[in-house]
Structure 1
Amino acid sequence: MTQTAANARVIRVHPNDNVAIVVERGGLAEGTAIAGGVITTMPIPQGHKVALVALAEGDRVIRYGEVIGTTVAAISRGGHVNETNVRLPTAPALGELPLATREPPAVEALEGYTFEGFRNPDGSVGTKNVLGITTSVQCVAGTVDYVVQRIKRELLPRFPNVDDVVGLNHSYGCGVAINAPAAVVPIRTLRNIALNPNFGNEVMVIGLGCEKLQPSTLIDDKPVKIYENTEAADPDANVLSLQDESFHGFGEMVEGILAMAERHLERLDRRRRETCPVSELAVGMQCGGSDAFSGVTANPAVGFATDLIVRAGGSVMFSEVTEVRDAIHLLTPRAVDREVGQALVDQMAWYDDYLAQGQADRSANPSPGNKKGGLSNVVEKALGSVIKSGNSPIVDVIGPGERLRRRGLTFAATPASDFICGTLQLAAGMNLQVFTTGRGTPYNLSMAPVIKVSSNSTLGQRWFDLIDLDAGRIATGEASIEDVGWELFHLILEVASGRQRVAAERLGLYNDLVLFNPAPVT
C-alpha cells in the first residue's frame, strides 16, 4: 500500500487508483520525485492527492478502487487533485443495489477475552457507574446543572463506587409538535438514553410540570414514582416536577432533588465490577474531523478491531448516514439477509428525503476542515468512513433513537454530526465509543468513555495529551493495520474495565447531548 521514492512517501490504496495521498509532514514541494517516476508539478500539502497519470477534463478520479468524481479541467501528471477540480458524481441508485449477495467470511470465534464491567439486573453491562439526571424540558436545565454541582460536592464523596453524576440536558420538551410522526425520534431517544447500561437503571427525571413532554413518559422500564415533598416520600421516587405545589421556593426544590439523588446513589454504590465476556460490550464507532488519512490508517484499524469484537460475540455499531450513502453499494451485499439489506436501503432513502425537505443535499458534507485535510468530497469521505465497519456481516439496522437488538455488527442510522451521532449511539445502548479523527477534536461524553484515535502522527504528536492512540504509524510504515487494530482492541478492554481513563476524561472535557429532531417546532 505504501510506496516511497527519493524519501517522498505516498499512499496508493488500490492498484487501479490514479491518485495517491502525500504522507510527508509539510507536504511535497514542486519537483519532488515519488514512486513510479512521477514528479510533482506544484506544491501538494500533506494528506492531499497527487495525480499519478495525466487526467483530461471529464476523466474519472479513482481512489480505493472506486470513482470519487470526474475532473472539471485537465490535471497534469504530478498535479494536485482537490475539491476545486473534482466534480461530485451521482450517488448510487438505491433501487438497483445487490442485497445480501456476499457469502459471510469464514472466521474463528475469538475466545478468552474479558473485561471488568458492572452487570445490571436486565443482563446488560456497564463500563461506568453513573447517576444520570435527565430533563423533560430545557426549562429545567439550569436547575439540573446547579444540582449536579451540589451533588458532586456534597454527596458524591460519600459514595466511592459511583463514578460520576451527569445532567442529561437537551433542548426538547416544549414548543414542539409532540404528536407529529417524526417526533418519535427525539422521544424514543430520551427514553432509551435512560436505559443505557452505564446508568445502572437509576436514572432520575426532573421536569417543570407544564411541558408537552411529561416527565413520566421518559421512564419506560420501571414504574413511575413521583417525588412528594413529605416526610414519607417514596425512597424509590424517580420523577420530580419543579411546579409541584408542595414546594415553597427554589431551596425546597433543590433539597427534594438532593434527597432523591441520595437514594439512587446508595443503590449505585452497591454495584461492583465483575469479570464479563467481550460479548457484553456494545461499542460505537464514529469519526469526526476526518482527513484523507482516516480511510487508510485509523478507520481500517478500527475496522480490524470491529471484527475482533464481533468474533468475540460482542456488539458494534457504525453510523452516519451521509457518510455511508455514497458507499452503500459496498454494504448492502454484506447484509446477513435481504430484509437487513432492504433496511439499509430504506434508511438511505429516508435521509435523502429528509435532506430534500430541508433544501439540502449530500454535497453539504464534507466540512472545510475535511477539505483542508485532503478530502475532496463526500464520496471520498464515505469510502474511507465505512471501513470502520470491518469485514463482518451486517446483522441489523436500527433507526435513529432505537436500541440495539442483536449482537454483531449493526448499522445505527444517525446524522453525521458528532454530537447527534454520539447521543443516538448512547440511546442504542453503547457502553463505550471509539472516535477517529485526522484534524483533531476534544470531543468526549460523560456517560460513556470515548477512545480517540488519530489518523496521522502529526496530530497524534501535536495533541499528545488528547489522543489515546496514534494510527498514523500505519502511514509511515512503523506499524501495520493489524498491529494497531489489536492494540485498539486491548485498549478497549482496559478502558471498559476502568483500568485506564481516556485522555479527555483525565482532562475533564465533556460535550452536551444533542437530540436529532426532524419534527416541526411550533
Structure 2
Amino acid sequence: MSQSRSRVIKVHANDNVAIVVEQGGLAEGTTLDDGLVLTGAIPQGHKVALTDIRVDDPIVRYGEVIGTAVVAISRGEHVDETKVRLPQAPTLSDLPLAIRPVPEVEALEGYTFEGFRNPDGSVGTKNVLGITTSVQCVAGTVDYVVQRIKRELLPRYPNVDDVVGLNHTYGCGVAINAPAAIVPIRTLKNIALNPNFGDEVMVIGLGCEKLQPSTLLDDRPVKIYENTEAADPDANVLSLQDESFQGFGEMVEGIMAMAERHLERLNRRQRETCPASELVVGMQCGGSDAFSGVTANPAVGFATDLIVRAGGSVMFSEVTEVRDAIHLLTPRAVDESVGKALIREMEWYDRYLEQGQADRSANPSPGNKRGGLSNVVEKALGSVIKSGNSPIVDVIGPGERVRKRGLTFAATPASDFVCGTLQAAAGMNLQVFTTGRGTPYGLPMIPVIKVSTNSTLGQRWHDIIDLDAGRIASGEATIEDIGWELFHMILDVASGRKQVAADKLGIHNDLVLFNPAPIT
C-alpha cells in the first residue's frame, strides 16, 4: 500500500485508481507527488484515475477488476460509481477448492480473559438474563416486565449485568412447516443458548401461536409454569393464556417470579481466568466506505489471525458482500468439503435473490456510495479482508451454531441487524463492527467493539467509536499496530475491564430474524 504526500492511497501495484485520504477531499488542480494533477475536486474516500482509462477498460483496485469504464476517464479524473459498469459475478462451477497450503504460524500462547464459564463448557463475556419469546404477540408485555425487573429486581443481584427481552416478529401467521422456516426457528432456539445467558433459558409465550414454546426447547427439559402459588422452581416456560392467571397483573407477577429464580442462579456466576481460545468473535461491517478495505478491515483481519493462533473462534459473514470475492476464499478452505460448502451457500443465496427479483446492484447503499464505494464488487473485496489470512475450517448456515475452533464462514444476509442476530445465534460472545459512515449499532446481550475506518468519523463520533483505525491511512499507525491494539481491547472487553461505547450509552438494536419462508 503506497501513499503520496497529498494523501491518496494505492493498495496494489496493479491498481489504476487510488482513494483520497485528505479530510475534506482534494481540490481541482491539486498536484500529487508523482506529478498527477486532479482535473476536478474529489471527496475524501473517492477514487482518482492514475492512468487514462478507455471505454470498457478494466478499473482495478486491490489488484482485482472492480468493473469496466462506462466512459473514457482521463488521468487525474474523479472515478465515481456512474463511470463504473458492474462486472459479471464469479461463476461458481469452476472455482479452485482448498488449493492454498495452510500457512505455518506460531501458536499464540499465554493470553487470557476473565469470563463466565458455563456448565456446557462455553464462556460468556457478560452475565445476562435473556427472556426468550415464542411469538411477537407477547413483546409488549415482555418489554413492560423487563423494565420492572430492571427497576425492582436487578439491583438485588449485582453479578447480573442486564435483563434482555429477546423480542422478534415471528411465531404466528407464518408457514411454520415450510422448509425455509428452519432458519428462524433454529435461530431462536440457538440465541437462547448464547454463552452470555449462562444456560438460564426462560421462554414467554402466548399459548395459541404456531411456534409453541416447547419447540424452542427441543433436547432440553421443558417445564411449564402453571400458576403463581405452586410454581415449579425449575420451570422455564410461561404462557400468558394460562387459565390460572386472572388479569394482566398476575401475568406480570408470574413472569417476575420466574425471572427472580433465574436471577438467583445467574448471580452465582463469577468471572474466572479463561484462555483466549474460549473467545467466539463475530466480525461484521456496516456503513462501509472506501477506507474499510485499507484500514479497519485489514486490522480486523490481523486480529482475526491472532485469535485463531490463540486457539479461538472467529466468524465472518454477509453473503452478498462475499459473493463477488468468493474466488479469493475457496482456495483458503481447509479441505474440499468446506470449499463446496462455501459454494453451496453462495448458490442458495443467488436463488433466494432471484426469487425476490433482486440483483447485485441492490448493494451497496447510497451511504456506501457517498463514502466512495462504486459497487458490490469493490465492497466485497474490502469486506472479506476481515477474515485475515487463516484457513477457513467450517461453513455454517443461517441460524446454526459454531462447531469448530478457528475461522468459520457464517452465512448471513448483509443487513447489520440480521447478521448480528444470526451471529448471536451462532454463539459469539463478542462482536467487532467496523464502520466508515458511522452507525450507533449495538447488541444488548453481546459487547460490540466499533472501529472507525477513517479518523474524520473517529473524531466526530468520539463517544460512540471505540477504536480509530483511520490512523493507518494517516500514517500514524500500521495495520499490525491497530490489529494488536484491537486484540488487547477484545481481551479487556471480554473480561469486563473495559466497557464498549454502545453499552455505556445504552444504545442497543432489536433482534431481526431472517425469515425466507412464506408468511401466511
Does the CA-based 8 Å contact 1:2-1:9 persist in structure 2?
Answer: no
- C-alpha separation between the residues in 1 aligned to 2:226 and 2:2? 66
Q: For residue 221 of structure 1, report the CA deviation from its aligned partner.
A: 4.8
Partner of residue 467, structure 1: 465
2:30 to 12, 32, 55: 32
Partner of residue 429, structure 2: 431
Q: For residue 434 of structure 1, report the CA deviation from its aligned partner.
A: 0.0
CA offsets 1:462-498 (integer angstroms, 9 cap, x no match):
0000000000000000000000000000000000000
Partner of residue 16, structure 2: 18
Structure-to-structure mapping, 1:193-272, within 5 angstroms:
193-272=191-270
Partner of residue 126, structure 1: 124
Partner of residue 40, structure 2: 42
Structure-to-structure mapping, 1:305-344, within 5 angstroms:
305-344=303-342
- C-alpha separation between the residues in 1 aligned to 2:141 and 2:360? 39
Q: For residue 82 of structure 1, report the CA deviation from its aligned partner.
A: 1.2
- C-alpha separation between the residues in 1 aligned to 2:2 and 2:275? 37
Does the CA-based 8 Å contact 1:2-1:477 persist in structure 2?
Answer: no
Does the CA-based 8 Å contact 1:438-1:455 persist in structure 2?
Answer: yes
Does the CA-based 8 Å contact 2:228-2:253 persist in structure 1?
Answer: no
What letter corresponds to residue 4 of structure 2 in structure 1?
T
Q: Does 1:520 align with 2:518?
A: yes
Partner of residue 139, structure 1: 137
Runs of 4+ in 1 over 3 A off after TM superposition: none
CA gap 1:375/1:230 in 2 versus in 1, 3 angstroms: closer
Q: For residue 230 of structure 1, report the CA deviation from its aligned partner.
A: 4.6
- SS of the counterpart of 2:114? strand
- SS of the counterpart of 2:4? strand
- SS of the counterpart of 1:95? coil
What letter corresponds to residue 232 of structure 2 in structure 1?
D
CA offsets 1:53-81 (integer angstroms, 9 cap, x no match):
01111110000000000000001100011
Partner of residue 111, structure 1: 109
Partner of residue 177, structure 1: 175
Q: For residue 36 of structure 1, report the CA deviation from its aligned partner.
A: 2.2
Structure-to-structure mapping, 1:278-427, within 5 angstroms:
278-427=276-425
Structure 1 stretch displaced more, 44-53 or 31-40: 31-40
- SS of the counterpart of 1:153? helix
- C-alpha separation between the residues in 2 aligned to 1:164 and 1:115? 20
Q: For residue 312 of structure 1, report the CA deviation from its aligned partner.
A: 0.2
CA offsets 1:17-50 (integer angstroms, 9 cap, x no match):
0000000001011111113221100000000000
- C-alpha separation between the residues in 2 aligned to 1:2 and 1:26? 20
What letter corresponds to residue 483 of structure 2 in structure 1?
G
- C-alpha separation between the residues in 1 aligned to 2:441 and 2:298? 21
What letter corresponds to residue 38 of structure 1 in structure 2?
L
Does the CA-based 8 Å contact 2:228-2:254 persist in structure 1?
Answer: no
Structure 2: which 5+ runs fail to align? Answer: none
Partner of residue 2, structure 2: 2
Structure 1: which 5+ runs fail to align? Answer: none
1:61 to 41, 53, 59: 59
Q: For residue 220 of structure 1, report the CA deviation from its aligned partner.
A: 3.2
1:102 to 100, 103, 111: 100
- C-alpha separation between the residues in 1 aligned to 2:30 and 2:447? 43
- C-alpha separation between the residues in 2 aligned to 1:110 and 1:158? 40
CA offsets 1:174-229 (integer angstroms, 9 cap, x no match):
00000000000000000000000000011210000000000111123520111011
- C-alpha separation between the residues in 2 aligned to 1:507 and 1:298? 23
- Alignment RMSD: 0.6
Q: For residue 134 of structure 1, report the CA deviation from its aligned partner.
A: 1.0
- SS of the counterpart of 1:509? coil
Identity %: 84
- TM-score, scaled relative to structure 2: 0.99
What letter corresponds to residue 467 of structure 1 in structure 2?
I
Partner of residue 78, structure 2: 80
Does the CA-based 8 Å contact 1:194-1:219 persist in structure 2?
Answer: no
What letter corresponds to residue 70 of structure 1 in structure 2?
T
- SS of the counterpart of 2:274? strand
What letter corresponds to residue 3 of structure 2 in structure 1?
Q
Partner of residue 165, structure 1: 163
- SS of the counterpart of 1:34? coil
- C-alpha separation between the residues in 2 aligned to 1:40 and 1:96? 41
2:186 to 184, 188, 194: 188
Partner of residue 510, structure 1: 508
What letter corresponds to residue 68 of structure 2 in structure 1?
T
- C-alpha separation between the residues in 2 aligned to 1:17 and 1:137? 51
